[in-house]
Structure 1
């Protein structure tokens, strides 16, 4: 087992990184604000400690040895981890409890970021960490307190509580609808429909529910997430189906429109996922209560 005194110093590893990124002892010295001799000394000591050379020295310059090539990505990853962990610790108020929330990209960008300050103001002693994720949540994971996912409606999702059923609203940009107005459902045939590539069946359900007589025209560009489809609508690429609660009244009045007031309940819902032992924790319980009270859909 390697003794702690035998581990390379952070200074030596940073010097190795600088030399490897510049392939020059002199340029690394400038980058680190030390002398070239100090850089050479650090690298020589590191190579001696490792028992093998990290650089080939040539008259025309240097290059990494095979050992250096294997060592470099591991050192870079380790230094990045140290830097990230240190910054997180410095930025975290240790006197506060931390609520860690993992949500889908669209839920975060189109709703949570706009509203989370309301929850934060109600709980000044709570620090909130928001992360992005998608797909199933494994029961063995415990890196976050709460997960929010959009899942098929079911009573059998493990550790899941239904926050709300998804209701989708047909929207287009004001500019697009002025140039090509919607007066009846059949006018949809004159418009391009933006595909939602992870759930393409939503358009089929929508056109069937509203009895569209002809085959609709789908766009060549589809998007994985609703926040991407929203940007496509703003760019006048076509019409999209977007969750009601992600559409603010301001957005609908200034940029978007649903002239026919068409919407549809989808077979999906937004679930809060947390193990029972975590849902009993006060911060999680309060966050769930706040979500239930605040998640109000915008009506067309």
Structure 2
């Protein structure tokens, strides 16, 4: 049966027009005439049987259906472009692996080890995009994810299986000049300082203070950052104390740009996992998983 698909040119014209809310600017971007873009969009509307734009006195705007379709088309055109560029770069040789990863873990732990993977599997290309929260693999165009989470979060991530890589330990760190005489703070004294928060872990400081037996009234107050790298940058600037995974702060601790604010590390429920779809594993992913387990000492 013949597929009911619009032409790629029609989709490109529609996506550009939707992004600019203008046929004229879409035409300029695509090096076409305004009339050509208008005809392509009209042909697309005829094919789908739905109005994608609404003309107004001040120009044009997307309909509700058009806005929904524009998001979907944009994602698929982006994925098609990535796949094409990837195939061109490999010239049909070797294999590729698309990973999603929590950013600071990828930067601090994974990147320094990738040269070893390249020596072991020289034909394997690893692409990495930043993700901090669970997602649907069917919509993400990635093979696997490096994720920091709890066992409960892993159980709620439908249609996946996970391999434990590393347990996580967190420790408070700050700018060295905040320490009086170079001596770490007590947990009680730490509760009076500005606390830098991690937006994906709103209760992290409260859990740390609870483990120290300290009633910290403002444990969940303070500026929030999505990435540990941003949280540590704020701590280096003297904005407060950050609670970060010990393995991610080694670079700053060794360089002396951060210091341990209170020598009370806490082993939490979170760990680092390799998460992948429950079915359909590619050989490249199997090789990557075996390498990861060897690097972390996990069977």
Give TM-score scaled by structure 1 length.
0.68
Partner of 1:63 in structure 2? Answer: 59
Q: Please, what is the CA RMSD of the aligned residues? A: 4.7
Q: What is the CA distance between 1:43 and its match in structure 2?
A: 4.1
Q: Give 2:9's aligned residue.
A: 10
Q: How does 1:146-185 map to 2 (within 5 A)?
A: 146-153=144-151, 157=155, 159-177=161-179, 182=184, 184-185=186-187
Match of 1:82 among 77, 82, 98: 77
Provide, for residues 135-188 of structure 1, a one-character-per-residue CA deviation record: whole Å limited to 9, x for no partner.
45669889543233223247x946222212211122112233369953544432
Partners of 1:8 and 1:46 within 8 A in 2: no
Number of residue equivalences: 285
The corresponding residue for 2:256 is 254
1:290 matched to 2:285? no
For residue 123 of structure 1, report the CA deviation from its aligned partner: 1.5
8 Å contact 1:188–1:216 — kept in the other structure? no
Q: Pairwise mapping of residues 92-103 of structure 1 onto structure 2 (< 5 A)?
A: 92=87, 93=90, 94-103=92-101
CA distance 1:44–1:251, shift in 2 (3 Å): same
Structure-2 separation of matches of 1:153 and 1:62: 53
Q: Is the 8 A contact 1:166 1:265 kept in 2?
A: yes
Query: Paired residue for 1:104?
Result: 102
Secondary structure of the residue aligned to 2:197 is coil
Indicate if the aligned counterparts of 2:170 and 2:265 stay in contact, CA closer than 8 A: yes
Alignment of 1:213-224 (within 5 A): 215=216, 217-218=218-219, 219-224=221-226
Structure 1 unmatched ranges of 5 or more: none
For residue 128 of structure 2, the aligned residue among 127, 130, 145 is 130
Describe the shift of the 1:171–1:13 C-alpha distance in structure 2 as closer, same or farther (beyond 3 A). Answer: closer
- Report the Cα distance in structure 2 between the residues aligned to 1:176 and 1:62, rounded to whole angstroms: 57
- Contact 1:55/1:63 (<8 A) preserved: no
> Residue 261 of structure 1 aligns to a residue in which SS?
coil
Secondary structure of the corresponding residue to residue 102 of structure 1: strand
**How far apart, in 1, do the equivalents of 2:249 and 2:110 lie?**
12
**1:229, CA displacement in angstroms?**
2.3
Q: Shift of residue 263 of structure 1?
A: 0.8
Tell me by how many angstroms 1:99 deviates. Answer: 1.8
Show CA shifts across 1:69-116 (max 9, x none): 976885686477436513431233131212222223443344334443
Offset at 1:132? 3.3
Shift of residue 118, structure 1, vs aligned partner: 3.5
> How many angstroms does 1:268 deviate by?
2.0
Structure 1 residues 247, 293: closer, same or farther in 2, change over 3 A? farther
Distance 1:189 1:135, change over 3 A: closer
The CA deviation at 1:248 is 2.6
8 Å contact from structure 2 (residues 174, 258) kept in 1: yes
